[in-house]
Structure 1
Amino acid sequence: MKLSIDVTTVEPMLFSEDLPDRSVVQFDLREHPMLFNSPVDYLRQDAALNLESRAGNGVQADLSIRGTTFEQTLVLVNGLRINDPETGHLNLDIPVPLEAIAKIDVLHGSGSTVYGSDAIGGAVNLITRPPGATSVATKAGFGNLGSEEQHLQADLHLSAVDGQLTGSRDTSNGFYSGGSNDRGYHSNAVAAETWLHHSALGTTDILVAGSDRPYGANLFYGPYPSWERTKGWFASVQQQLGPKTALDFAYLKHTDLFVLFDGQPSIYENNHVATNWEGALRRSDGLGKESTVSYGLEAEADTIASSNLGHHGRNQGAGYVNLSLREFNRLSLTVGAREEVLSGGGSVFSPSFAGAFRLSGSLRLRGAAGHGFRLPTYVDLNYSDPTTIGNPKLKPETSWSYEGGLDWTPGGRFRISATGFQLNQHNAIDYSKYSLTDKWQAINVDHLNFTGAETSALVRLSGSQEIGLSYTAVRAASPPAGLISEYAYNYAAQRAVFSWSSEFLHQVIARTQVAAVQRTQHTVYPLWDLSIARSKGRVQPYLRLMNLSNTGYQEIPAVPLPGRTIMGGVAYVWSRPGR
């Protein structure tokens, strides 16, 4: 499994428009797919990411980057937003199966100049790609805790059209016996994507996807045996208009049914239906031999119809420009700006600057500064239950992030990267109270600042062996005296990830990973995973062992997670010979 740790480019849109000189991690999902089962499995390789799961197998998890909250990371599919306007707890309700994703790019640091709202801590872009051959791949596996998985990928590759059909079904009986609800889950997703290759205009990319996830939510949001079911529908059309211009359109619908006491909806039940529309016209032009200017217009509208939150809607439009200068010998510069016009007449201006200077052929210094912002979710504004209340007077979050780093690549077998960063937030949104008997109240918090550093190294040993090591440390000032914070100060203060992978007998791939995590006000705990699979041939058996150390741990306070988990199965892969 290749983990790119050098500073590279990310594809914020689906044409040649990049964010150079920034800290970006890339994951190639087409390499050894039997070793992983969900996008969350890949994201856990990056020590800068804080993943807080409430259930196994990535069924329900919060994602944050560089100490920020789960609301402050933007998730996209092919450069199009899938963040849920209801609540950031559902941002990783990814509507496409794992098999539909070819690559994941993770941007560390503010991305609001290019992406807009929510990208304060960073952004995650899930990228699909046309297949390179006609093929069919299926896998089925079984494990402890009553776990099952069945996945399908069918690819069609022709000269004028490519198509892909993917589906996944993952289930478990649950592991937690602390109540009447045992944390069982069913996670299902299906997607169909077609690429039409026109000689005149360019490629038309049509994607339709859906997901359905019912799961036991015991202790998820308090000491209650809860149950939840989420469904998602996603559709997008992305049209090239020649080699420099692209027109994108996307629609997302997400439903969330939450029952506080499983089997007793009459006591307390919430039903939310959120929708989001997005359209964008983007263009990139060359300036000289190496420089480019990228610019575009975007429009977005979202709505919520909820038994608890009420009926609301809002819309916004934006224009952006990004100038990338590469004409200098050793120096590269990127300057960007975005103006976002909000419902009600407000606006947010988000500039950014990044630069890099190559000291030698193997050593480069870089720095960046950028403005970020986030609009409150509908839960932030309108939620009310026996323990938590929203705040309709919340202001949008804003931030400035600064970073500096170096990248050293002395040879093809060794790479190292180090970055220091500072994040200063204004009107950050947190849920807090001053007495244990009070309700959690959504409020704006000033001067919520984070300072940290992240390092990563990759060593390629003889043959196919690779060793990776990454470490991130984050620190924030203590909360005001007497304040009890629910989210803002519950972050991963330190996280380290060690990984090793190798291929044996030219057809067996093995990978192991050990992560050590220290959350604020908690002791360090280790997590050890091991995967092995046949990587060639039509029949490919595989085995995944998660939490081999059987560590008892919680990523969210009072929400215990599974101990040792075993999953084994067989994949069958058929591919039509090339013509």
Structure 2
Amino acid sequence: DMEWVAGVELIDAVPGVGAYAGAVNIRTAPLAERYLRLEATGGAHGYAYGNLSGAVSGRGLTLFGAASYRRSDGYTHNTGFDNANAFVRLNYDSPRAGFFDFQAGWQRRAFGSNGFYSLQYPDQFEQTQTALGSLRWVRGWGPVRLNAAVSYRWNSDRYELIRGEPGRVPYNYHLTDNAGAELWADYASRAGVTSLGGDYTFHHIRSTVLGEPLPRPVGRYDHAKSRHIGNFWLRHGKRWRRFDVSGSVGASTTPYGTSVLWSLAGGYRPVGGLRLEIGAAQSMRLPTFTDLYYTAANYIGNPDLKPERAVTYRFAADYSRGRWNVSARLYYRDGHNLIDWVKPSPEADWESCQITSLDTYGAEGRAVYATEGFLRRLVFSYGYLTQSKHSEGISKYALDYMRHKAAVSAEVRFLRRFSFVLTGSVYDRAGSYADREGVMRDYRPYFLLDGRLAWEKGCCRLYVDVTNLTDTEYFDFGGLRMPGTWISGGVVLTLGRR
């Protein structure tokens, strides 16, 4: 649940298979050492949300637990959803045994997917369940630090082309298991910090459509597939007063053979508060089981797909002084064998295929002004993306991207206990789509305005949210009309926070 997220960071130059364009690290953390928090929200379209979370700490141990439920009737036909989440995180820090970090989570999602996979079928339905767990251990001995982790993720997916009629029309059931282990050591010396390590991941799926046919069905599943992935790497980094450098080299073993991957980066701080960075990294991503094997109504998979590969070059600048925090990013990605689902014409089927090469150019900028008084926070952001190749048909993913996005957000405080946040965003998506009548249409730019009014005193906070204040009609994916104005309101009670 997003209410439990303490921060999100984007990581470049991640060694190993999978991080084609980097990685997203989602961090969870309690609000305080000891507290209990309750949130309840209701709104338009039968929307309801409840969230209970809390934490206790003492003697090197911290326990954080949370559970939530969210549902809606949907803003149009067959767009309702019913979601539940549970999460627990236990940290224990022992001077002798080391630091232990245990996490476990469960999620159930059921939702109407009106036209999501095909506009010709407005009554599609999907239900998923996910359980995951991980344990991490860190122990230091002088200049040496040893890190180890194990993880497991189980997922169940049920899809119906026509809701409530799984026996009469095509339906899909998938059951996936992903297990992993990681071990690495860091050594700090006057020459810098050197890391040596490796990881292993096992992917397995049982399905009614994905994978290779089984000699005998296992329950409802008559297809299955598995693969093993190993990564080994060596990293080194060194920091001086104004400069820092880092680099890595590694080997990845997959069913497609062994690949060597590398990264290199350097930073420079010419004046206080300013840091410049330049870097390059090689990456790859394996085809998913869906890309390889999914063949059903209007979809044709391709078991001969190869891994995607890329080299990304980037430049970054970050400046912080007083009330301002400014950052800028420029990057160029030289991609090969990119996987996409494409159809040559509106009447054709979707086919899983590969784009031989694809050059991607991007720029991002962000400026944050924070102060006290009436105006508390002002945020400007802009992102631009362009690619060297355009689809000759209809692209579902790789060539259908957000070309421009600009946003301005302002937060003000008034009458002692009131706050108001207003965010305006402009979107311009590249590409085109076929509507329900099969007519090709280009994506049109659109503007969204969202706001939140809140009142807070002591342990209580009341708020009202309005999304799409201007009731803009827009399409964010393949001709699916997105919600208009949506109003909700809620209360948050936080006890024992300090």
Task: Output the TM-score relative to the length of structure 1.
Answer: 0.77
Aligned to 1:418: 328
Following the alignment from structure 1 to structure 2, what is the Cα–Cα distance between the partners of residues 331 and 134? 41
- CA change 1:342–1:517 in 2 (3 A) is same
CA contact (8 A) 1:111 1:120 kept: no
Aligned to 1:443: 353
- Return the offset for 1:283: 2.3
Letter in 2 for 1:148: A
Aligned to 2:254: 342
**Could you list the runs of 5+ residues in structure 2 that have no partner in the other structure?**
211-222, 431-441
Aligned to 2:204: 303
Following the alignment from structure 1 to structure 2, what is the Cα–Cα distance between the partners of residues 388 and 123? 29
- CA change 1:149–1:531 in 2 (3 A) is same
- CA change 1:504–1:357 in 2 (3 A) is same
Q: Deviations over 1:51-72 (max 9, x none)?
A: xxxxxxxxxxxxxxxxxxxxxx
| SS of aligned partner of 2:292 | helix
CA contact (8 A) 2:443 2:475 kept: no
1:383 to 288, 294, 300: 294
- CA change 1:364–1:160 in 2 (3 A) is closer
**Bigger mean CA deviation after superposition, 217-226 or 277-286:** 277-286
Following the alignment from structure 1 to structure 2, what is the Cα–Cα distance between the partners of residues 446 and 428? 7
CA contact (8 A) 1:120 1:399 kept: yes
Q: Deviations over 1:468-523 (max 9, x none)?
A: 1111111112436x443222211001011111123445544432211110001422
Following the alignment from structure 1 to structure 2, what is the Cα–Cα distance between the partners of residues 130 and 240? 20
- Return the offset for 1:131: 6.0
Identify which of structures 1 and 2 has the higher relative contact order when contacts are C-alpha pairs closer than 8 Å and 6+ apart: 1
Letter in 1 for 2:94: H
What percent identity do the matched residue pairs reach?
Answer: 26
Aligned to 1:499: 409
Q: Normalized per residue, which structure has more strand?
A: 2
- CA change 1:432–1:98 in 2 (3 A) is closer
Aligned to 2:433: none
1:522 to 440, 443, 457: 443
Letter in 2 for 1:216: G
Following the alignment from structure 1 to structure 2, what is the Cα–Cα distance between the partners of residues 316 and 536? 52
| SS of aligned partner of 1:559 | coil
Q: Deviations over 1:388-422 (max 9, x none)?
A: 1111110000001111233333x211232222211
- Return the offset for 1:146: 0.5
Letter in 1 for 2:135: V
The higher radius of gyration belongs to 2
1:124 to 24, 28, 32: 24
Find out whether 1:211 has 2:110 as its counterpart.
no
Aligned to 1:35: none
Following the alignment from structure 1 to structure 2, what is the Cα–Cα distance between the partners of residues 385 and 159? 56
- CA change 1:245–1:532 in 2 (3 A) is farther
Aligned to 2:71: 171
Following the alignment from structure 2 to structure 1, what is the Cα–Cα distance between the partners of residues 105 and 301? 32
Following the alignment from structure 1 to structure 2, what is the Cα–Cα distance between the partners of residues 273 and 523? 38
Aligned to 1:286: 188
Aligned to 1:330: 242
Find out whether 1:551 has 2:472 as its counterpart.
yes
| SS of aligned partner of 1:379 | helix
Letter in 1 for 2:284: F
- CA change 1:331–1:135 in 2 (3 A) is same
Following the alignment from structure 2 to structure 1, what is the Cα–Cα distance between the partners of residues 393 and 115? 23
Following the alignment from structure 1 to structure 2, what is the Cα–Cα distance between the partners of residues 483 and 551? 28
CA contact (8 A) 1:499 1:512 kept: yes
Taking the TM superposition and a 5 Å limit, the aligned residue runs for 1:241-252 are 241-242=139-140, 244-252=145-153
Aligned to 1:321: 234
CA contact (8 A) 1:200 1:242 kept: no
Taking the TM superposition and a 5 Å limit, the aligned residue runs for 1:4-403 are 97-107=1-11, 110-113=12-15, 116-129=16-29, 132-177=32-77, 182-222=78-118, 223-224=120-121, 225-242=123-140, 244-266=145-167, 267-288=169-190, 291-309=192-210, 310-327=223-240, 329-343=241-255, 346-403=257-314
Letter in 2 for 1:565: W
CA contact (8 A) 2:13 2:280 kept: no
Letter in 1 for 2:369: V
Letter in 2 for 1:251: Y
Runs of 4+ off more than 6 Å: none
Letter in 2 for 1:543: V
CA contact (8 A) 2:33 2:62 kept: no
- CA change 1:238–1:535 in 2 (3 A) is farther
Letter in 1 for 2:232: G
Letter in 2 for 1:528: L
- CA change 1:333–1:576 in 2 (3 A) is closer
- CA change 1:462–1:158 in 2 (3 A) is closer
Find out whether 1:560 has 2:481 as its counterpart.
yes
CA contact (8 A) 2:294 2:301 kept: yes
Following the alignment from structure 2 to structure 1, what is the Cα–Cα distance between the partners of residues 236 and 314? 19
CA contact (8 A) 1:137 1:154 kept: yes
**Could you list the runs of 5+ residues in structure 1 that have no partner in the other structure?**
1-96
- CA change 1:374–1:360 in 2 (3 A) is same
- CA change 1:130–1:161 in 2 (3 A) is farther
Letter in 1 for 2:365: T
- Return the offset for 1:218: 1.0
CA contact (8 A) 2:409 2:422 kept: yes
Aligned to 1:541: 462
Following the alignment from structure 2 to structure 1, what is the Cα–Cα distance between the partners of residues 228 and 406? 40
Following the alignment from structure 1 to structure 2, what is the Cα–Cα distance between the partners of residues 401 and 273? 34
Q: Deviations over 1:266-292 (max 9, x none)?
A: 211100111100111122221228x32
Following the alignment from structure 2 to structure 1, what is the Cα–Cα distance between the partners of residues 203 and 105? 19
- CA change 1:372–1:553 in 2 (3 A) is same
Following the alignment from structure 2 to structure 1, what is the Cα–Cα distance between the partners of residues 455 and 95? 40
Letter in 2 for 1:379: T
Aligned to 2:216: none
- CA change 1:561–1:484 in 2 (3 A) is closer
CA contact (8 A) 1:137 1:572 kept: yes
- CA change 1:104–1:408 in 2 (3 A) is closer
- Return the offset for 1:559: 1.3
Task: Output the TM-score relative to the length of structure 2.
Answer: 0.89
Find out whether 1:453 has 2:363 as its counterpart.
yes
| SS of aligned partner of 2:443 | coil
Letter in 2 for 1:166: A
CA contact (8 A) 1:131 1:157 kept: no
Aligned residues: 468
Q: Deviations over 1:3-52 (max 9, x none)?
A: xxxxxxxxxxxxxxxxxxxxxxxxxxxxxxxxxxxxxxxxxxxxxxxxxx
